[in-house]
Amino acid sequence: MTQTKPRVLDAGNCDPDHAAIRRLLSRFDVDLDRVMFVDEALANLAEHRYDLVLVNRLIFADGSDGLPLIERMKADPKLHDVPVMMVSDFDEAQNRAMAAGARRGFGKAALDDPKTFDLLRPYLDRAG
């Protein structure tokens, strides 16, 4: 039986930040999809199964807050159990995201921190 790669959805990150997240995730063997808007993320989530969703604090394309994506996912019975993390260096944003049902996320300043790798491992490491 062939094991499929974990699939990650990156929502709302600009090109440089998406590239940095792609580099981080390359330490795992994952398929990475990218969307720029909340409604686009919800459409992808309806079509594909994701092992993890990463939501930028501010959606780059329109400057909107990323928190509504988390809230809408957690309110939808079909998406409620999909793991989601906020990408933000701000503790207040992380706390709001966790209050809405997200897992503890990470900030862009911590992309090279081993603790970030440890946060991602339970969702993306299929080796063990």
> At 17, which CATH number?
3.40.50.2300
The domain of 69 spans 7-123
DSSP string covering 2-32: PPPPPEEEEES--HHHHHHHHHHHTTS--EE
Residue 68: inside a domain? yes
Residue 60: inside a domain? yes
Average of per-residue pLDDT across 100-119: 96
pLDDT tens readout for residues 16-71: 999 999 999 999 999 999 999 999 999 999 999 999 999 999 998 888 999 999 99
**Secondary structure E strands in 1-128:** 7-11, 31-35, 52-56, 84-87, 103-106
Residue 55: inside a domain? yes
Residue 66 contacts residue 11 (beta carbons within 8 Å)? yes
Supply the angle between the helices 67-75 and 91-99 in degrees, to the nearest 10: 10
Residue 10 contacts residue 20 (beta carbons within 8 Å)? no
Residue 2: inside a domain? no
Q: Count of domains in the chain?
A: 1
The length of the chain, given as a count of residues: 128
Residue 44: inside a domain? yes
Residue 108 contacts residue 87 (beta carbons within 8 Å)? yes
* Claim: this prediction has a pTM higher than 0.85: yes
